[in-house]
Amino acid sequence: MHLIAIDWGTSSLRGALLDGKGHVLEERSHPRGILTVPPGGFSALFEELFGDWMRPTGSFCLISGMAGSKQGWVEVPYCPCPSGRVEVGNAIVEIEPGRIAIVPGMSDMHDGVPDVMRGEEVQIFGAMALAGLSDGLFVLPGTHNKWVTVKRGRVTGFRTFMTGEFYALLSQHSILARTLDAQAPLDEVAFLEGVTQADNGQGLLHNAFGARTLALFDRMPAGELASYLSGLLIGEELRTQSIHAGDLVLIGSPALTQRYLLALEISGNTARTLGAEATWAGLHALAAIHLSNKARS
């Protein structure tokens, strides 16, 4: 039986056609995140993009990500922490019975303030399966980074950091945008200067202004300011988290995980890295739980 695995995000979506063993037969991606879909338009868009994959009898589609949010196809309630892949698999909701189902996201709570993720939990379950891990601190960099603690195969807690979104806001819309070239390639020295500066106890609200004044005083070339700002932000994120040697797993694109590895090196830490392909392994494992539940009931 074929599994159609989809990660439907806010601004884009990715899909893969998997065989019964979870091997990828074909991949597709489209700039059709949930924010581009008109109300009531999810079913028609799904048929347009993946109808051919669904044609063989018995094909089943499992979707993770923002498709299960309030602004998505059908809202699917979050699984609270602690939950493992069995609890999340048991909470999968079929939105077209026997054909299409959505994975719930996860929620956590700290001092009365909720935290949420949708899609990252699938990447983590996939990464655990691929790497044979059942414990660790998983970090997923992106627009809204997730720091996720896993113990004995279950997600016990997590926090979101708006690091990627702050970078976009500051580099494109703030006073820093006047002197900073957001497209410049990574300059490792400037990046590490930012990481170090982030630890000076003065906080991001102050340190970010340095990316302006270093340019004003010609103390840093325009081409290095973006790397410095990126270092300030990632350094600020790392500053607040206690990292124990050996248990860190980074999941994301090489361009992003490389920066975290550089920043971690300063404090003598390192991490395993995994690509976002973990999504397909995670959806395959969750689909197996869901379909075996159905077979039993």
Give contact residues for its own copies (rule: CB under 8 A).
70, 110-116, 144, 159-163, 165-166, 169-170, 173-175, 197, 200-206, 208-210, 213-214, 216-217, 219, 233, 236-237, 239-240
Nearer to its own copies, 99 or 178 (CB): 178
Q: Which amino acid is at 63?
A: I
CB of 152 to its own copies, least distance (A): 25
Instruction: Give the span between the Cα atoms of 168 and 230, in whole angstroms.
Output: 10
- How far is CA 192 from each of CA 181, 184, 199, 217, rounded to the nearest angstrom? 18, 16, 11, 20
- C-beta separation of 243 from 137 below 8 A: yes
- C-beta separation of 276 from 251 below 8 A: yes
Nearer to its own copies, 43 or 172 (CB): 172
CB of 225 to its own copies, least distance (A): 12
CB of 48 to its own copies, least distance (A): 27
CB of 189 to its own copies, least distance (A): 13
Nearer to its own copies, 203 or 246 (CB): 203
Q: What angle do CA 69, 74, 79 make, to 5 degrees?
A: 55
Nearer to its own copies, 8 or 53 (CB): 8
CB of 281 to its own copies, least distance (A): 27
Instruction: Give the span between the Cα atoms of 280 and 111, in whole angstroms.
Output: 34
Of residues 279, 244, 252, the one with CA closest to residue 163: 252
Sheet holding 13-18, edge to edge: 24-30, 13-18, 3-8, 60-65, 100-102, 93-96
Nearer to its own copies, 220 or 281 (CB): 220
Nearer to its own copies, 3 or 155 (CB): 155
Instruction: Give the span between the Cα atoms of 185 and 183, in whole angstroms.
Output: 6
CB of 156 to its own copies, least distance (A): 17
Tell me: cis bond preceding 82? Omega within 30 of 0 counts.
Answer: yes
